[in-house]
Amino acid sequence: MPETEKQQLIRTATLIRRFLETQWPGWHHKRGRPVQEPLSRGTCQTSSLFVAEILRRNGIQAKVVQGNSLHQNEGYYWKGRWHGHAWVETLGYIIDVTADQFDRHAVSVIETGSENYKAGSDTATPGARELRGEFVRNALLNWPEIFEDT
């Protein structure tokens, strides 16, 4: 039986997540942060940029969506309040490869429109944005072309 679109996204997001797990300790170190538990904490924007780039390189339109908890009702709603967060939207789905920081499965692929996810703004400084870009560019150099065999 062929995979559904959602099953394909889950499989792809899981492969990407496994790769990102090898990158996150270096990202934390370069930012001067201790390695955190879960390891994905604080990596959602950069991870989402990476996911979207991999999908686009493979012909799938994808966009990074984020919300800043400094603004009202943006980001991810968990434990009674909004948290700054970023994720990818594609093909009518939300892909969140850092959902475990909210006590969810490590990879979440759900239909868009979830009340827990609300788009907003990115208030990062230009320096933080440049660092995210550097992390993504470096990770892409190490990315195995898994799509060739899937």
Q: Where are the domains of the chain?
A: 5-142
Distant-in-sequence, close-in-space partners of 89: CB < 8 Å, separation ≥ 6: 62, 63, 65, 95, 112
Angle, in degrees to the nearest 10, between helices 5-30 and 126-142 = 120
pTM exceeds 0.85, yes or no: yes
- The reported pLDDT for the residue numbered 3 is 84
For the stretch 1-50, pLDDT in tens is 678 999 999 999 999 999 999 999 999 999 998 888 999 999 999 999 99
Q: What gap in Å lies between CA 77 and CA 85, rounded to an integer?
A: 9
For the stretch 64-106, pLDDT in tens is 999 987 767 899 999 999 999 999 999 999 999 999 999 999 9
For the stretch 100-143, pLDDT in tens is 999 999 999 999 999 999 999 888 889 999 999 999 999 999 99
Total residues found in the chain within this entry: 150
